[in-house]
């Protein structure tokens, strides 16, 4: 008898931290910062140099959440380089530029640390879920996991055979 295929749990499986390689996590930094740069360059005539690095903050956060602490730091450094190279000579005083750069660097480090913590937590949750699924797949008795409201969260392979329902049919039902 063929073993039923269990759903991965997320339609965004490629965003799962356990699936992404370190190279892909760092490679994601470039388009994220490039998008922030395009938005920043488009708004340059309107905002000038008043908020030089403001639009790079979401790029650092996105890189840190997607890839962890290292890619968050890489996005911070790349954003600093892009901001200083392309917007340097546009009527901002050196003192203002240096203070903005230092402030952004400090913020970027904090954001990268927070994003890295989120990434690590998500990775640990993925590992716990895989462990639970391996237990549910190997237990010989039918096992149904419900939450505090009585809603089915998981359904073992033995429960699928016993009751004739697949996990996708019963998950989220009472």
What is the per-residue pLDDT for 85? 82
Extents of the domains making up the chain: 13-132, 140-170
Q: Is the pLDDT of residue 7 over 50?
A: no
pLDDT tops 60 at residue 11: no
pLDDT digits (tens, 9 = 90+) for 64-117: 988 889 999 999 999 999 888 877 665 556 777 788 889 999 999 999 999 889
- pLDDT computed for residue 144 by the predictor: 87
What are phi and psi for residue 154, nearest 5 degrees? Answer: -150, 155
Supply the pLDDT for residue 13.
46
> Each residue of 128-164: pLDDT tens digit?
888 887 887 787 888 888 889 989 988 888 888 889 9
**Higher pLDDT, residue 58 or 95:** 58
List, in order, residues 6 or more apart from 166 with CB less than 8 Å away.
4, 155, 160
For residue 136, what pLDDT is reported? 76
Residue keyed to tokens 């403001």 = 54
pLDDT value, residue 16: 54
Which CA distances in Å does 160 have to 62, 138, 142, 151, 172? 39, 13, 8, 16, 15
Q: What is the mean pLDDT of residues 43-69?
A: 85
First to last CA, the chain: 29
Q: Which positions ≥6 away from 127 have C-beta within 8 Å?
A: 18
Q: How much is the pTM? A: 0.66
- Cα separation, 147 vs 149, whole angstroms: 5
3-class DSSP state for residue 7? coil
pLDDT of amino acid 89 = 61
Q: How confident is the model at residue 21 (pLDDT cuts 50, 70, 90)?
A: confident
- Coil/strand/helix, residue 97: helix
Q: Is 68 exposed, middle or buried (0-12, 13-18, 19+ CB in 10 A)?
A: buried
């Amino acid at each position: 008898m063929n073993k039923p295929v269990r759903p991965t749990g997320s339609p965004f499986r490629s965003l799962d931290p356990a699936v992404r390689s370190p190279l892909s996590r760092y490679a994601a930094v470039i388009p994220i910062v490039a998008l922030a740069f395009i938005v920043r360059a488009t708004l340059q005539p309107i905002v000038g140099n008043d908020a030089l690095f403001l639009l790079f903050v979401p790029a650092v956060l996105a890189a840190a959440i997607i890839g962890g602490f290292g890619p968050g730091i890489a996005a911070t450094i790349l954003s600093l380089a892009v901001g200083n190279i392309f917007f340097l000579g546009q009527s901002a005083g050196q003192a203002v530029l240096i203070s903005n750069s230092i402030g952004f660097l400090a913020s970027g480090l904090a954001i990268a640390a927070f994003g890295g913590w989120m990434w690590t937590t998500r990775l640990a949750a993925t590992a716990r879920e895989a462990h639970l699924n391996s237990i549910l797949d190997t237990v010989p008795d039918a096992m149904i996991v419900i939450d505090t409201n009585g809603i089915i969260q998981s359904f073992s392979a033995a429960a699928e055979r016993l009751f004739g329902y697949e996990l996708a049919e019963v998950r989220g039902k009472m």
